[in-house]
Amino acid sequence: MANGVFDVELKVGTVESAEDFSEAEKPEMMKLWISIGEEKFQSAAQLGYNYTPEKVEGLQVLCATELGEVRIAGFKSQVLTVGVPDEDGNPVLVRPDTEVPEDGELY
């Protein structure tokens, strides 16, 4: 953080695997393992309202990086998987509509 500003980057990653995260306090959480270029990251996301683990595996998603890590029920979340609310206020993933190279940065 320089001068009170985070160096957040929004990059494209691919969900390599996903599973339900029933240990988390919030409902409908999932554990995600995401590759962004050569690097692998973990993310906890409240996606169960609109997705199953099987449905998100293989999807390209937009991830906010450089935010630091947080632990959620013992799970290390390293990137924020970006979503927007649906009509009920539940997260819908932000992702490219065609396949793009991993590690591509939003501009």
Q: Which tens digit of pLDDT belongs to each residue from 67-95? A: 999 999 999 999 999 999 999 999 999 99
Nearest Cα to Cα of residue 24 among 9, 3, 44, 40: 44
Residue 4 lies in a domain: no
The yes-or-no verdict on residue 58 having pLDDT over 70 is yes
Query: pLDDT at position 16, please?
Result: 98
Query: pLDDT at position 1, please?
Result: 45
Q: Which of 57-81 are b and which e, b meaning 16 or more Cβ less than 10 Å from the residue's Cβ?
A: bebbbbbbbeeeeeebeeeebbbbb
Range of the domain at 41: 9-86
Q: Which amino acid is at 29?
A: M
Residue 106 lies in a domain: no
pLDDT tens sequence across 3-33: 556 688 999 999 999 999 999 999 999 999 9
* Total structural domains within the chain: 1
Q: Alpha-carbon distance 31 to 43, whole Å? A: 6
